[in-house]
């Protein structure tokens, strides 16, 4: 589904050149809920944003659903991005639009007819159990409800891939569990491949079937979640993350922005 082959990305900063991602290769299969975990500055969000070319790699290759996205024209890339939904940690809903109209926005931009828009929006709101909030404005919603609106908005174009950048870090522990349940349901019911970036190991163990650990722009370890009980972490960051995961209670730690690209 998604093949990332030897990609690198550098940024120029006031302190000089910064290697955000260095020679990373990953293979994400159809139907995966693939976790990318690491501390702040590890390069995980930059890596995710290269999957739909919000960040273009300096080198390497990226294939999504059989297409080399680096070779696409601007028009082809815009079309391709409609198959890649995206959710961020900050909800970024339009305050002057109702829940219904926020969810409808990608379809409006895509030129979908009013009748089709209505049917699709109601279907997506039902998926996240927010039909009764369709006429409400974001100011009246809780943080968890706002993130569920962002999820509904991200799946209106029926994407094959859903990218989630720290989707639970802006909500309380109980709501985090609810959001993860909705993401898992979307994978199961709609068959969407999900890539989730997080700094919380308990998010990975709760929802993912595979994980890659990043540090200083590199993937230092990658493995299926089922292997965790028998894995001896090799990197220092993995040892820290595994210890955090083993020490959390059933009550998760307290810790979306939606970006539509069309």
What is the pLDDT of the chain when averaged over all its residues? 88
34-47 tens-digit pLDDT: 999 998 889 999 99
b/e code 29-62 from CB counts within 10 Å (16+ = b): eeebbbbbbbeeebbbbbbbbbbbbbbebeebeb
Q: Is the pLDDT of residue 255 over 70?
A: no
Report the share of the chain in percent with pLDDT over 90.
69
Give the whole-angstrom CA distance, residue 187 versus residue 161: 10
What is the structure's pLDDT at 249? 37
What fold is seen in the domain 1-83+160-262? Answer: Rossmann fold (3.40.50)
| Torsional sign, CA 135, 88, 48, 221 | negative
What is the structure's pLDDT at 229? 67
Q: Is the pLDDT of residue 12 over 90?
A: no
What is the structure's pLDDT at 85? 93
What is the structure's pLDDT at 262? 36
Q: How far is CA 43 from CA 122, 126, 216, in A?
A: 36, 35, 7
CA-nearest of 246, 253, 222 to 235 is 222
Beta bridge mates, 37: 198, 213
> pTM for this structure?
0.87
Q: Is the pLDDT of residue 244 over 70?
A: no
CB 41 within 8 A of CB 25: no
Q: How confident is the model at residue 254 (pLDDT cuts 50, 70, 90)?
A: very low
| Torsional sign, CA 84, 85, 89, 94 | positive
Q: Which residue has the higher pLDDT, 8 or 243?
A: 8
Average pLDDT over residues 144-165: 94
Q: How far is CA 170 from CA 17, 78, 101, 175, 221, in A?
A: 31, 29, 23, 10, 27
Give the whole-angstrom CA distance, residue 234 versus residue 102: 45
Q: How confident is the model at residue 251 (pLDDT cuts 50, 70, 90)?
A: very low
- CA triple 76-80-86, angle to 5 deg: 140
What are the boundaries of each domain within the chain? Answer: 1-83+160-262, 93-158
CA-nearest of 193, 202, 138 to 169 is 202
CA-nearest of 254, 256, 219 to 238 is 219
Give the whole-angstrom CA distance, residue 109 versus residue 209: 34
């Amino acid at each position: 589904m998604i093949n990332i082959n030897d990609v690198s990305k550098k940024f120029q900063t006031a302190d000089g050149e910064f290697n955000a991602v260095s020679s990373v290769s990953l293979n994400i299969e159809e139907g995966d809920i693939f976790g990318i975990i690491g501390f702040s500055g590890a390069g995980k969000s930059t890596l995710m944003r290269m999957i739909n070319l919000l960040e273009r790699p300096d080198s390497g290759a990226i294939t999504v659903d059989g297409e080399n996205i680096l070779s696409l024209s601007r028009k082809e890339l815009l079309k391709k991005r409609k198959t890649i939904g995206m959710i961020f940690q900050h909800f970024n809903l339009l305050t002057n639009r109702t829940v219904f109209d926020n969810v409808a926005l990608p379809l409006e931009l895509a030129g979908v007819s009013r009748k089709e828009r209505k049917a699709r929006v109601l279907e997506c709101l039902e998926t996240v159990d927010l039909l009764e909030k369709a006429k409400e404005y974001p100011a009246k919603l809780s943080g968890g409800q706002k993130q569920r609106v962002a999820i509904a908005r991200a799946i209106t174009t029926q994407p094959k891939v859903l990218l989630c950048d720290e989707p639970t870090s802006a909500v309380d522990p109980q709501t985090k569990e609810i959001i993860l349940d909705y993401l898992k349901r979307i994978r199961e019911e709609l068959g969407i491949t999900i890539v989730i970036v997080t700094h919380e190991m308990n998010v990975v163990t709760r929802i993912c079937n595979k994980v890659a650990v990043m540090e200083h722009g590199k993937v230092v370890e990658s493995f299926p979640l089922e292997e965790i009980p028998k894995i001896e972490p090799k990197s220092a960051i993995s040892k820290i993350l595994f210890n955090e995961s083993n020490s959390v209670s059933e009550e998760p730690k307290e810790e979306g922005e939606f970006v539509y690209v069309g």
